[in-house]
Amino acid sequence: MQYLTNIFFIIALIAGIGFFVMNIKKLSRNIKLGKDVNRTDRKSERLKNMMMIALGQSKMVKRPFSGFLHIIVYVGFIIINIEVLEIIIDGIFGTHRIFLGVLGDAFYGFLIGTFEILAALVFVAVVIFWLRRNVSNIKRFLSKEMKGWPKNDGNYILYFEMVLMTLFLVMNATDPTFQQAGIGNPISQFITPLFDGFSADTIHAIERTAWWIHILGILVFLNYLYYSKHLHILLAFPNTYFANLNPKGQFNNLESVTNEVKLMMDPDADPYAMPEEGAEETVPEKFGASDVTDLNWVQLLNAYTCTECGRCTSSCPANLTGKKLSPRKIMMDTRDRLEEVGRNIDTNNGVFVDDNKQLLNDYISPEELWACTSCNACVEECPVNIDPLSIIMDMRRYLVMEQSAAPQELNMMMTNVENNGAPWQYNQQDRLNWANEE
Ligand code: SF4
Ligand code: SF4
């Protein structure tokens, strides 16, 4: 009988981890749909960013209250899960609290005691997060893009955390040997009296139930991550490592356009020269981005990493002045479209079949794109170094260069730059006329 539970545990573990690995492969395949971009330079700077921002949460504390609570949940969640290692070993081999014998009373008690305190703190922090999301009128949680699934997703994960922390404490509280030893139970000792009067068998059944639901809950949580904004728990690390290190506001030039301009400026160039052999067959590269596959893989990684916290949107001058643009929505739309493309590939045996849809217009409108002031506030604010502006600029580039669909005011300005070398509608010779005006 004992073996049956061990076998069931091993099957649940393999199924949970196997499904997770399958989803991670899908995630990686989707990110690789993006264009290549080289982010292998300046390794020590990248590593430092990752340690400071993803591990050290340095950007979170810019908003101290929510940042502090987030650090409690983050640290608590990671540290408490060390305990999962003991649960896994116990589950596979049918042992009970195997680390107690290995680590000794004092150290084991210290560890579990720390986990219990952290579990209680995480529970309190999560309740405050729930109140902020559902009771307080915090504008960034009430935006249009946060209705439906994004709101529910945020709440589900909070419920998950509350339940997991409770189960951990109940598991300890209903373990008579652990409680009698009096080590590492600073919180659970106050829960134990709730079970006074219960028979030993009932208490044992409650302890086993809490133990099983706790570990199965963790496996479900692991697999829920792929469908949730909580992927950032994992992706914040690569995302901060591969983030753009160039100064904010520095845009890349299109190589094909640069070459054309160089050719125009080169006095020795022959405009009537025959094109190189085979050049006619080369499909010219698309300018800018109209769909997710035109973006680079770091932009797609950004989309999966977005925590939907809305810090970017709450600092966006366009959004604050009532424009349609929300940088958070740009990231959420990019992820939704990428997921749609991924599902299309899955259902068509690994090949994308045109669905007559794209990121531009079907998800993100030109009105949103043109509302951006390119101020970089969203990039600066993002706690995990996401760059919504780069997606906006690539999509604008497509509108201008592929569709000539810039707003009229911009078209006039660009015509002036082309004709007059300046954004104004004056001939270059007339530029200083104002100085002679009476
Ligand atoms: S760069 Fe654009 S999207 Fe980002 S904060 Fe500024 S205006 Fe908003
Ligand atoms: S882009 Fe960054 S700041 Fe904006 S919602 Fe996503 S994680 Fe938050």
Token pair in block for residue 164: 């997991």
Is there a single domain that holds both residue 138 and residue 224? yes
Predicted confidence at residue 433, as pLDDT, reads: 83
Give which of 418, 427, 371, 376 is closest to 396, Cα–Cα. 371
255 domain-assigned: no
Structural domain for 153, as ranges:
3-32+63-242
**How far does residue 59's CA lie from ligand 2's centre (Å)?**
12
Q: Is there a single domain that holds both residue 198 and residue 67?
A: yes
Identify which of 145, 307, 336 to mutate to test ligand 2's pocket (most ligand atoms within 8 A of the CB): 307
**Does ligand 2 lie within 6 Å of residue 111's CB atom?**
no
- Amino acid sitting at position 195: F
Residues 198 and 74 in one domain: yes
Expressed in angstroms and rounded, the spacing between residue 315 Cα and the centre of ligand 1 is: 8
Is residue 318 within 8 A of residue 372, CB to CB? The reply is: yes
Distance between CA 40 and CA 372 in Å, rounded?
Answer: 30
DSSP annotation of 56 reads S
Say whether both 291 and 398 belong to one domain: yes
- Pocket lining: 236 vs ligand 2, CB cutoff 6 Å: no
CA of 118 to the centre of ligand 2 (A): 27
384 within ligand 2 shell (Cβ under 6 A): yes
**Residues in contact with 17: Cβ distance below 8 Å, sequence separation at least 6, in sequence order:** 219, 222
Indicate whether 237 and 319 sit together in one domain.
Answer: no
pLDDT of residue 82: 81
Boundary-marking domain end, from 242, 261, 295: 242
Q: Does residue 108 sit within a domain? A: yes
Query: ∠ at Cα 315 (309, 318), nearest 5°?
Result: 115
Ligand closest to Cα of 376 equals 1
CA of 212 to the centre of ligand 2 (A): 35
Where does a domain end: 180, 207, 242? Answer: 242
Q: Which residues pair with 370 in a beta bridge?
A: none
Q: Hey, what are 160's tokens?
A: 């998950």
Among candidate residues 393, 430, 375, 341, the one with its CA nearest the CA of residue 33: 341
Residue 16 CB–ligand 2 contact under 6 Å: no
Do residues 341 and 30 touch, judged by C-beta distance below 8 A? yes
Residue 260 included in any domain: no
pTM over 0.85: yes
Q: Judge if 236 and 291 occupy the same domain.
A: no
Q: Which of 141, 143, 145 is nearest to 363 (CA)?
A: 145
In a domain, residue 269? The reply is no
Could you tell me the distance, in angstroms and rounded to a whole number, from the CA of residue 228 to the centre of ligand 2?
14
Whether the CB of 154 sits within 6 Å of ligand 2: no
Q: What is the pLDDT of residue 121?
A: 96
Report which bound ligand comes closest to the CA of 320: 1
> Could you tell me if 198 and 173 are in contact, meaning their C-beta atoms sit under 8 angstroms apart?
no
Which residue, of 242, 270, 299, is where some domain finishes? 242
Token match 């890349």: residue? 252
Asked whether residue 203 is domain-assigned, the answer is: yes
pLDDT at residue 261, rounded to an integer: 82
Residues 20 and 157 in one domain: yes
Closest CA to 231 of 386, 419, 105: 386
Q: Is there a domain that residue 261 lies in?
A: no
Write down the pLDDT at residue 264: 80
- One digit per residue, the tens of pLDDT, for the chain of length 438 reads 678 899 999 999 999 999 999 999 999 999 999 999 999 999 999 999 999 999 998 999 888 999 999 999 988 878 887 888 999 999 999 999 999 989 998 999 999 999 999 999 999 999 999 999 999 988 889 888 999 999 999 999 999 999 999 999 999 999 999 999 888 899 999 999 999 999 999 999 999 999 999 999 999 999 999 999 999 999 999 999 999 999 998 888 887 778 778 878 887 777 677 767 766 666 677 899 999 999 999 999 999 999 999 999 999 999 999 999 999 999 999 999 999 999 999 999 999 999 999 999 999 999 999 999 999 999 999 999 999 999 999 999 999 999 988 888 888 898 888 888 888 888 878 888 888 887
Lookup: tokens for 89: 């070993």
Examine residue 405 and state whether it is found in any structural domain, yes or no. Answer: yes
Q: Which ligand is nearest to the CA of 140?
A: 2
Q: Is the CB of 388 under 6 A from ligand 2?
A: yes
Q: How many beta carbons lie within 10 A of that of residue 144, not counting itself?
A: 9
Mutating to test ligand 1, I would choose from 368, 375, 380 the residue with most ligand atoms within 8 A of its C-beta, which is: 375
Clarify whether residues 339 and 413 are in a common domain: yes
Of ligand 1's listed atoms, the one at least distance from the Cα of 312 is 5
Pair of tokens at residue 320: 């604050």
Residues 286 and 360 sit within 8 Å (Cβ to Cβ) = no
Answer yes or no: is the C-beta of 316 below 6 A from any ligand 1 atom: yes
Distance 325 CA to ligand 1 centre (A): 8
* Cα–Cα distance measured from residue 127 to residue 107, given in angstroms and rounded to the nearest whole number: 30
Residue with tokens 């302890």: 207
* Co-location of 313 and 167 in the same domain: no
Q: Which residues lie closer than 8 Å to 410 by C-beta, 6 or more apart? A: 400
Q: Structurally, how many domains does the chain consist of?
A: 2
Amino acid at 298: V
User: Is any ligand 1 atom within 6 A of the Cβ of residue 377?
Assistant: yes
**Other CB atoms within 10 Å distance of the CB of residue 303:** 27
**314 and 409 co-located in one domain:** yes
The partner residues of 364 in beta bridges, in order of sequence, read: 360
At position 187, the amino acid (one-letter code) is I
pLDDT, residue 20, reads: 96
CATH number at residue 335: 1.10.1060
**What burial letters (b/e) apply to 109-140, b meaning 16+ CB within 10 Å?**
bebbbbbbebbbbbbebbebbbeebeeeeeeb
Residue 328 beta carbon below 6 angstroms from any ligand 2 atom: yes
Determine if ligand 1 sits within 6 Å of the CB of residue 321.
Answer: no
pLDDT at position 83 is: 86
Atom of ligand 1 nearest to the CA of 374: 1
Number of H helices, E strands in the chain: 20, 0
The reply to whether 274 falls in a domain is no
Claim to verify: residue 77 and residue 208 sit in the same structural domain: yes
150 lines ligand 2 (CB under 6 A): no
**In terms of domains, do 323 and 383 share one?**
yes
Those residues with Cβ within 8 angstroms of residue 146's Cβ, 6 or more apart along the chain or in another chain = 140, 154, 308, 310
For residues 140 and 311, the answer to whether their CB atoms sit within 8 Å is: yes
Inter-residue contact 115 to 83 (CB < 8 Å) = yes
| CA 434 to ligand 1 centroid distance, Å | 35
